[in-house]
Amino acid sequence: MAGALVETLSTKKLLAVFVGFILLEIGFIILAKVKAPISTMAIVQSAVTCIDNKSQDWILPETCKYMVLDPENHQETISHQGPDDNPTHDPNNVVFAAVLPKKIVEMSRWFQYMLTLAVFKIPYNPQLEVAPDAVATLDIRLAYSNNKDFYKLPKSWQSVVNSTQERPLECVFEHPKTDEYKGFHYNCDPLFILQLGSLPHKHYLINIRLPVNKANPKISPNMKIGQVTEIDFVSITQTGGFTKIWISLKVALCTIMIFPLIWYWRRVTALARPALLIEKAIFGLALGMEFLNIPLELVTIFSDASWMLLFTDIRQGLFYALIFIFWVIFTGEHLMDQAHRNKLSSYKWQLGCITVSCLAFLGFELGERGTQLVNPTATMWQHPNLALALLVCGCIAGVLYFLLLCYLVFRVFRSIRFKRRFVLPTERTAHFQSIVNRFRMLMLLSAGTAGLTVAFFILQQKLEGMMNHYLPEDYEFNMASGFFTGVYGLWNIYVFLVLSLYAPSHKLYITSDLDNGDHSSSNGVATEQVQLMQMTQEKPRED
Amino acid sequence: MFSNSRVSFQFVTILIYITVVCVSQVNSHWWSLATKTLLVGSSSVEQCDNELGFSHSQRQLCRTYANHMKYVKDGAENGIKECKYQFRLNRWNCSTAVNDITVFGKVLKIGSKETAFTYAVAAAGVVVSVAQACKNGLLQECGCSRAPRPQGISSSWNWGGCGDDTDYAYGFAKEFIDARERDTNPSNKSKHKARKEMNLRNNEAGRLVAVRSSEPTCKCHGVSGSCNVRTCWMKLSGFREIGNKLKSKYNSAIEVVAKKRGRRQLDFTPRKRSDVITPTSLVYLESSPDYCVKNRRTGVKGTKGRECNVDSNGPDGCGLMCCGRGYRVVHKQIVEKCNCRFQWCCTVICDQCPSNVKRYVCK
C-alpha cells in the first residue's frame, strides 16, 4: 500500500482531529438526549372478552356482547352434566377483541412498525393447571379501518390476515401450589401475535379466538392452557418523534458522507497504479455506510412499504459484512511476510466465515420478517429447531471469524516485533515504523469504536434496569435514543476517519520495496515458510 | 300557636340537617362511594355535590373527572373486598356497616394498625382500577388526548407516545384521595395533625405498593431478534397479590410518635429505635382497641358469633378468636359442588355432594 495520509500528519494534528470527533460524538448523544423522545413505546391494552355466535363478522370491542370469564362465577351458574347447548358456554364463541391503538388516538405512519404481543392472564386453579408443555392455538384475525365510525361499523373493516397459529405457552407460578394461592396469577411469557412492517392505516382490529374441539376433548387444542380469563395486548412501535430525529440524522449524515467518499475515490483513481485490495475494501466499507445512511425510511411515510423493516435489517447486515471484510483485509495486508497479499483468495477462510454467518442471519430474517410480508402472524419460532439452527450457525461462524481475526492480529504483532529486531536493515526502519504506526492507529480506532459500542450497550441495559425501580418523576428518562444516535454517529465517524486518514497521500509518495514485493512475489509460499522457520527459531531467544 | 310550632319544627329540622352534614363531614369518607349506586351521564356531575362522603376539593375533582368516579368506586369496593379477605381470620374482620357513611364505623377514628391498612388498601384499589380503566381505553385522560389531566402528566401521542397507565393512575389517586386530608385543617391540636400525617403516609404507602407491584416486562426485537432494540412495559399484578403485600406491611407496621419540626411540619419517629420508616411502610399512632367485646364507644363489633377453627393455632383458632370465652358447635348439612371438571372457558361440570359439617362459633 502506498503512503497513507495518516503517515504525513503530525501528532498534534492527529490529536486535534481526535478531540474534534470526540466532541462531535458527544453532540450526537446530546442531540438524542435533548430532542428525541424514548425510541420505542409499548401500548398496553386489555382485550374485551366478547361472546359471539360463530358469526364471520368483525367483533368490535365497543358493540359486542361482553362476557366475564371468571371461573368462580361459572361454578355458581353452571352445574350440570351432559351436553350443553348454551352458546355462552361454548369456548369457540369467545372472542378477545381490541382496537389498536386506543379509541381516542390514531396510528401514524411515523410509528414505522408494530409488534403486537399477547399476555395471557391465568389465575391458578388446582383443577385446571397450565401444563408445562402447553401450546396455545390462536385463531388470529386482523383488520384495518380508516373510517370515522370505525368503532361502530363492522362493515368499515377490511381484512388483513386470518390465520391459525400455535404458540408454546410458558407460564410460571411463583407461589406454592396450594389452595391458599388459588386465584393468584401465573406469570406468563408474552406471546407473539403479529408484526407489521409499516402502518399505513389509522386503526387496527384484532379478534382472537382460542378454539376447542368440544366433541373430542382428548385431541382438542387449548385443553392444557388453564383458565384464561383475560388477554392483554402489548403493541410496540417506534415513537414518531424518534423516527423524525432518526431520519433527520440520516439525511444529514448521508449528505456529509458523500464528500469524503468522492474525494477518496478520486485520490485512488488519480494514482498511476491500479487500486489495491485494501483501498477497495475501504471504499466498500464507506459505500456500505453510505447505503445505510440513505434515509429510505421516508418511503414508508408516503407509501405502504411493509418491506422496509426487512430491507433495513439487510442494509445493516451488509454493513456488518463489509466492516468485517475490511478488518480482515487491513490486518492481512499489514502482515509483513511478503506473501499472499493483495489477493482476495488469501482470506478465503475468514471470508467463508463471514459468508456463512451472513447467509444464516439472512435466512433467519427472510424466514421471520420475509414471511411476515405475506402473513404478519407468522414467525420463525413456529419451527424453533430451524430458527435456532440458523441463529446458532450464524453465531458460530461469527465467533470463528473473530478467532481467525484475532490470530491474524497476533501474527502481525509477532512479525512486527520479530522484524524490528532481526530482519530489517537500518535504512528501511523509518518506512517500516510508519507502517507499524498506521496499523496500530487503526487497531486503536477499531478497538475504541467497538469497545464504545459495547459500553453503550451495557450502559443502556444498566440504566434501563435502574429505571425499572420505578421513580415516577424519572420515568421519562431515556437512554435508548441516545444509545442509537450515539452508536450510529460513532460508526459514521469511524468510517469518515478511515476514509480520510487512510487515503493515499500526495505529499509523501513512496513506492516502497515492500509494496513492489506484493506484485512480484511469485515464490511467496516459500518465503513465508522460511520466515516462519526463522521466527520459530528466534522465539526462545526473544523470551 | 299551631303555626308557631310548625315554624319551630322546621327550624329544628334545619338544625338537625346542619348538624348531620357537619358531623358527617368530619367522619365521612370518600370510600362510602363503594356502597352507592352511581349515576352515569349528565346527572353524575350533580351527584358530586350531593356526595356526603366527599370533601370540598374532592367535590371539585369529582366535577372535573366525573367519568373517573366509577373507577374510584370500583377501587374502593375492591379495596374493601380485599380487606375482608385478608382479615377473614382475624378478630377484626374489616367489618363494614350498610348505609353507614363512614363504612367501617367509628373504629377507624382510632389511629391503629387496622386503620392504616384500610387507608392503604383503599388507595391501592383506586390505583389499580384507574390503571385498568386506562388500559381498557375507558378513560380519555390517560390516553393522550388534550382533555384536562392532573399536573405533571403531559405528552403528545404522535411525538413520544403516551405515558404509562400506572403512572397516570398513581397521579390521579394521589390528587383525589389526598384531597380529603388536605382539606381538613386541623386546629392546633397536634393529635389531629399527627392523624392527618398518618393518613397521608398510609395512602401513599398503599399507592406505592400498588405501583411497585407492577413488574417490568421486556421484549427484544432488534435485528434477528437480538437485543439491540428492547422495549419494556409495566405489568400490573393482580389485586390479590397487592393485598398480600399490604398485609405483610400491616404485620410489620411501625408505631410512630409525632414530633414537631418547625411551626407546621411534623416528623414521625418510630417508637422502636430499630424500626426504619420507608415510603411503603404503614405507620400508626395508637395501639389497637380490644376487638374481642362489642364496644359502642370505640365502634368495635366483637367476635361473638364469629366462626373459628378448632385445629388452628393462628389468629383464627378458637382460643384466640373467641378471646377465651369458648365456642359452640353447630351441625349443619350442606350441599357442595364437588368433583368439578373444568374446561376452557366456560364450562364447569360439577357433582352435587351433600355433607355434614361441624362449625364452631364463638360464644
For position A98, which CATH number holds? 2.60.120
Query: Amino acid letter at B51?
Result: E
Q: What is the mean pLDDT of residues A357-378?
A: 92
Confidence of residue A125 (pLDDT cuts 50, 70, 90): confident
User: Do A459 and A328 belong to one domain?
Assistant: yes
d(CA A12, CA A15): 5
Q: Cell for A42?
A: 409499548
Domain residue limits at A252: 5-39+241-467+485-537
> For A143-158, how does the pLDDT look when each residue is reduced to its tens digit (9 = 90+)?
999 988 888 888 889 9
Q: Are A240 and A183 in contact (CB under 8 A)?
A: no
Q: A512 φ, ψ to 5°? A: -75, 170
Q: Between chain A and chain B, how many beta carbons pairs sit less than 8 Å apart?
A: 176
- How many other C-beta atoms lie within 10 A of the C-beta of residue B248? 12
User: Do A193 and A290 belong to one domain?
Assistant: no
Contact check, Cβ <8 Å, B221/A212: no
Shortest CB distance from A40 goes to which of B158, B159, B229? B229
Residue-level pLDDT at A450: 86
Residue A472 lies in a domain: no
Domain boundary among A238, A262, A287: A238
User: Do A34 and A95 belong to one domain?
Assistant: no
Across A267-281, A412-426, B259-273, the highest mean pLDDT is recorded for A267-281
E strand spans, A75-133:
94-100, 114-121
Q: Are A122 and A229 in contact (CB under 8 A)?
A: yes
Shortest CB distance from A184 goes to which of B241, B345, B350? B241
State the pTM of this model: 0.81
For chain A, percent of residues with pLDDT exceeding 70: 82
Residue-level pLDDT at A472: 39
The pLDDT mean for chain A works out to: 80
Q: Which residue of B has its CA nearest to A37?
A: B160
User: Do A441 and A381 belong to one domain?
Assistant: yes
Residue-level pLDDT at B153: 47
> For A294-332, how does the pLDDT look when each residue is reduced to its tens digit (9 = 90+)?
999 999 999 888 899 899 999 999 999 999 999 999 888
Contact check, Cβ <8 Å, B342/A71: yes
Is 60 exceeded by the pLDDT of residue B282? yes
> Where are the domains positioned within chain B?
2-212+238-244, 303-363
Question: What residues of A are in contact with residue B161 (Cβ under 8 Å)?
Answer: 37-38, 41, 43, 237, 239
Residue A475 lies in a domain: no
Q: Are A459 and A479 in contact (CB under 8 A)?
A: yes
Question: What residues of B are in contact with residue A474 (Cβ under 8 Å)?
Answer: none
Rg (CA), chain B: 24
Q: Tell me, rounded to whole angstroms, the distance of Cα B44 from its chain centroid.
A: 22
Residue-level pLDDT at A424: 58
Question: What residues of B are in contact with residue A41 (Cβ under 8 Å)?
Answer: 160-162, 231
Q: A217 φ, ψ to 5°? A: -60, -25
Calculate ∠ Cα A415-A416-A421, nearest 5°: 95
Shortest CB distance from B159 goes to which of A37, A91, A105? A37
Q: Which residue of B has its CA nearest to A192?
A: B219
Long-range contacts of A267-271 (CB under 8 A, 24+ apart): A267/A503, A267/A504, A267/A506, A268/A503, A268/A504, A271/A2, A271/A504
Residue-level pLDDT at B19: 46
Question: To the nearest whole angstrom, how far is the Cα of B185 from the nearest Cα of chain A?
Answer: 28
Q: What is the mean pLDDT of residues A237-247?
A: 88
A85, A96, A102, A236: which to substitute to probe chain B, counting the most B Cβ within 10 Å? A102
> For B56-80, how does the pLDDT look when each residue is reduced to its tens digit (9 = 90+)?
888 888 888 888 888 988 898 899 8
Q: A233 φ, ψ to 5°? A: -100, 135
d(CA B164, CA A44): 9
Residue A510 lies in a domain: yes
Using DSSP's 3-state secondary structure scheme, residue A96 falls into strand
Query: Amino acid letter at A99?
Result: V
Place of cell 450526537: A28
Place of cell 374485551: A48
Shortest CB distance from A228 goes to which of B163, B224, B345? B345
Q: Which residue of B has its CA nearest to A370?
A: B224
Query: Amino acid letter at B300?
Result: V
- How many other C-beta atoms lie within 10 A of the C-beta of residue A21? 16
Across A26-35, A353-362, A378-387, B175-184, the highest mean pLDDT is recorded for A353-362
User: Do A250 and A316 belong to one domain?
Assistant: yes
ipTM computed for the complex: 0.80
* CB contact set of B249 (below 8 Å; sequence gap of 6+): B117, B120, B205, B209, B280, B281, B282
Domain boundary among A187, A222, A238: A238
> For A131-186, how does the pLDDT look when each residue is reduced to its tens digit (9 = 90+)?
888 899 999 999 999 988 888 888 889 999 999 999 999 999 988 888 888 888 89
Question: What residues of B are in contact with residue A44 (Cβ under 8 Å)?
Answer: 135, 165, 233-235
Question: What residues of B are in contact with residue A38 (Cβ under 8 Å)?
Answer: 160-161
Residue-level pLDDT at A518: 39
Shortest CB distance from B158 goes to which of A89, A110, A468? A110
Least confident range from A17-31, A439-453, A514-528: namely A514-528
Shortest CB distance from B348 goes to which of A75, A103, A470? A75
d(CA A52, CA A7): 77
For position A452, which CATH number holds? 1.20.1070
Confidence of residue B122 (pLDDT cuts 50, 70, 90): very high
Least confident range from A234-243, A452-461, B37-46, B48-57: namely B37-46
d(CA A136, CA B276): 47
d(CA B170, CA B204): 9
DSSP B89: T
* CB contact set of A337 (below 8 Å; sequence gap of 6+): A415, A524, A527, A528, A531
Q: Output the DSSP codes for A3-60.
A: PBHHHHS-HHHHHHHHHHHHHHHHHHHHHHHHH---SEEEEEEEPEEEE--S-SSPPP
User: Do A78 and A94 belong to one domain?
Assistant: yes
Contact check, Cβ <8 Å, A227/B135: no
User: Do A359 and A224 belong to one domain?
Assistant: no
Shortest CB distance from A185 goes to which of B136, B212, B238? B238
Shortest CB distance from A361 goes to which of B218, B224, B351? B224
Question: What residues of A are in contact with residue B238 (Cβ under 8 Å)?
Answer: 121, 123, 183-185
Q: Tell me, rounded to whole angstroms, the distance of Cα A392 from its chain centroid.
A: 16
Domain B303-363: give its CATH code. 3.30.2460.20
Q: A221 φ, ψ to 5°? A: -75, 170
User: Do A32 and A52 belong to one domain?
Assistant: no
Secondary element (H or E) of residue A180? none
Secondary element (H or E) of residue B5? helix B2-27
d(CA A232, CA B233): 12
Question: What residues of A are in contact with residue B240 (Cβ under 8 Å)?
Answer: 183-184
Q: Mark A379-400 as b/e (b = at least 16 C-beta within 10 Å).
A: bbebeeeebeebbebbeebbeb
* Pairing of the two strands B254-261 and B283-284: parallel
Question: What residues of B are in contact with residue A241 (Cβ under 8 Å)?
Answer: 158-160
Q: What is the mean pLDDT of residues B112-121?
A: 92
d(CA B335, CA B355): 6
DSSP A181: G
Confidence of residue A496 (pLDDT cuts 50, 70, 90): very high
Confidence of residue B157 (pLDDT cuts 50, 70, 90): confident
User: Do A209 and A95 belong to one domain?
Assistant: yes
Q: Cell for A343?
A: 489477493
For chain B, percent of residues with pLDDT exceeding 90: 17
Using DSSP's 3-state secondary structure scheme, residue A409 falls into helix
Sheet holding B283-284, edge to edge: B265-270, B254-261, B283-284
User: Do A377 and A491 belong to one domain?
Assistant: yes
Q: Cell for B60?
A: 371539585
Q: Which of A43, A311, A349, A59 has the alpha carbon at shortest distance from A197? A: A311
Calculate ∠ Cα B332-B335-B339, nearest 5°: 130
Residue A323 lies in a domain: yes
Contact check, Cβ <8 Å, B340/A127: yes
* CB contact set of B278 (below 8 Å; sequence gap of 6+): none
Residue-level pLDDT at A74: 55
Contact check, Cβ <8 Å, A228/B145: no
Number of domains in chain A: 2
User: Do A197 and A251 belong to one domain?
Assistant: no
Place of cell 485520490: A267
Regarding predicted confidence, which is higher, B123 or B295? B123
Question: What residues of A are in contact with residue B342 (Cβ under 8 Å)?
Answer: 71, 125, 127-128, 227
Residue-level pLDDT at A54: 65
User: Do A172 and A250 belong to one domain?
Assistant: no
Contact check, Cβ <8 Å, B228/A457: yes
Contact check, Cβ <8 Å, A470/B211: yes
Contact check, Cβ <8 Å, A228/B221: no
Residue A474 lies in a domain: no
Residue A362 lies in a domain: yes
Residue-level pLDDT at A535: 35
Question: What residues of A are in contact with residue B160 (Cβ under 8 Å)?
Answer: 37-38, 41, 239-241
* Pairing of the two strands B347-362 and B307-308: antiparallel
> For B338-347, how does the pLDDT look when each residue is reduced to its tens digit (9 = 90+)?
777 666 666 6
d(CA A24, CA A12): 18
